[in-house]
Amino acid sequence: MAILLHKDSSLIIQGITGKQARMHARHHLEYGVNLVGGISPGKSGHVVEEKPVFDTIKEACAALGAIDATLILTPPYAVLDCALEAIDNGIGVIVIITEHIPIHDSMKMREAAGTAHACIVGPNTIGLISPGKSKAGVMPGFLYKEGNVGIVSRSGTLTHETASNLSIMGIGQSTCVGIGGDPVPGSSFEDILKLFKDDPETELVVLIGEIGGAAEEQAAAYLAAADYGKPVIAFIAGATAPAEKKMGHAGAIIAGEAGTVASKHAALKRAGAHLAGSIEEAVTMCGALLKKETRADF
C-alpha cells in the first residue's frame, strides 16, 4: 500500500513550464509516475513532455477528472495561491518544494489543508516517494528501493543517505517523506507517524530529526501515548554543531535547554524509540530489527 501515493495516483505539476519543473516532469515520467498534466497561468494549450498545460486546476480537473496530488514548483510569492487552489479543487496531497515561504503563508496553508483533510508535504522539502510505485518530489529515484521501512525526515540529504544505505544493504522502503526544515511544516512527524502506523506495508519507521524546534519532542509525546506497535529508530542530526553556529534550516532554532539533541534523545527514549548515533547505526539497527544481514563496511 505505502502511504499518500500509490502506483496509479494522478499527479500534476504547478509551475510546469519553468525550466526546473520541465526537468522534473521528465524525471517523474521516467520513474513511471502517472503525471497527467501541469498548471501555468496564461499557458493553457501548451504541452510539456507530451502532457497538457492548463491555466487553472479547475480547468485541468474538467479535462482530466479528479487529481490525487500536486507538486508545486513555483517562486515563493505564488505558493500560497497555488496551495489554496489545490485544496479548493479537492487535491488530497500537496507537495511544496519551494523554500523561503513566509511563515504566515505556511500557517494559512496548513490551516486550510487541515479543514479540508488534505496533506501538505513541505514547504522546503525534497517531497515524498513510494519506491517502485510513485513519487512527488526532486529525489533521485534510483537511490530508493521498494520494501517495508518507512522514513520521515526533516533533512532531504539525510533522507537520501539513509535510503541509499538501506538499499545497498538490501533493505527497501515503503514510503519516504521529507517534512521539510521550515518552522511551520505542512505535516508534522506525528502526522506521518500516524499514517505509517496504519500502513500494513510498513514494518519499521526511521525518524530523522535535527537540533532546534520541538518537532521531535512532539513526536515522542505521540509515541508515548499511542499503542504504536512498530519499532521506531530515531537519529537526531547536529550533535556536534557549535553552539554559536546557525544551522541551515529555518526551523533549527534552539531556545534554552529545549531543542537540543539531549532533550530530544531523552523524550524519544522515554517513548520507547531506538536511538541511533549515526545514519550507519540506524541502518544497522534496521537490519537487526528486521532480522536481515547488513554489512558494516559501507
Residues serving a catalytic function are 249
Backbone torsion region of residue 111, taken as left when φ is above 0, otherwise alpha when ψ lies between -120 and 50, otherwise beta: alpha
Report yes or no: 79 and 105 within 8 Å, Cβ to Cβ: yes
| Strands annotated E in the chain | 10-14, 34-39, 47-48, 51-54, 69-72, 93-96, 119-121, 127-130, 134-137, 146-153, 173-178, 204-210, 232-237, 274-276
Please provide residue 276's backbone torsions phi and psi, each rounded to the nearest 5 degrees: -110, 140
- Relative to beta strand 34-39, strand 10-14 is parallel
**Cα dihedral 209→211→215→217 (10° resolution):** 100
User: What is the Cα–Cα distance from 151 to 154, expressed in whole angstroms?
Assistant: 10
